[in-house]
Amino acid sequence: MKQNNILGIDPGSRHIGVSVFQNGNLSYYAIRTIERNTKQETLQKLQRIIKKLILNYGITHLAIEEVFYIQQKRSFVKRVYEEIKSFSSERSDINLLKYKPKDIRQTISDKEKIKGDAIKDNVNRFLISKFPELQKYLNLPNRSQVRYYDFLFGAIAVGLVCVWELEIDNEEDESRR
């Protein structure tokens, strides 16, 4: 089976959540601040962060959470998203996979049989059950802290869904042999 190193990204205009899965295991996660004095400097910082992660972890797949409708109206978030897509398209050695936020939550909730109205909260709790070190980022008292750490949970969730998708693809490839 080939090695899959996945960089999961949840983009924002000031911060991006990033996660790295190496052969299905979460090996790195962080929230990186990209905001700078000018939009061009912000995009350059974004490129530096992504390039460094690609080089340090031998990334083979870039899984990105798509920008949803409300974010598209704030054009700079859309520009950050487009910059990530364009950067990955320049690299023939990296496969870009895009996921809608709703599909990420749905995939996790279906696979893990999560029920209820607060699917996002339940997905976050599932991620904590799988990665207990994340517990300190849940149920924070300040709403801005919650929004900040949503980037982290989003990046881990998109990376995990990509892991599952690639595992299914690998199983199907092996069954054809």
Q: How far apart are CA 37 and CA 45, in angstroms?
A: 11
Class of 5-176 per CATH? alpha beta
- Domain residue extents for the chain: 5-176
Q: Which amino acid is at 60?
A: T
Average pLDDT, the chain: 84
Q: How far apart are CA 90 and CA 26, in angstroms?
A: 26
**What is the pLDDT, as a whole number, of residue 105?**
84
Match 């959470």 to its residue by tokens. Answer: 65
Split at pLDDT 50, 70, 90, the class of 12 is: confident
Query: 144-159, pLDDT tens digit by residue?
Result: 888 899 999 999 999 9
DSSP at 157: H
Helix locations, the chain, DSSP H? 39-57, 69-73, 75-89, 101-111, 119-130, 143-176
Query: 17-75, pLDDT tens digit by residue?
Result: 999 999 999 999 999 988 878 888 888 898 899 999 999 999 999 999 987 655 555 56
Split at pLDDT 50, 70, 90, the class of 117 is: low
Q: How far apart are CA 26 and CA 46, in angstroms?
A: 21
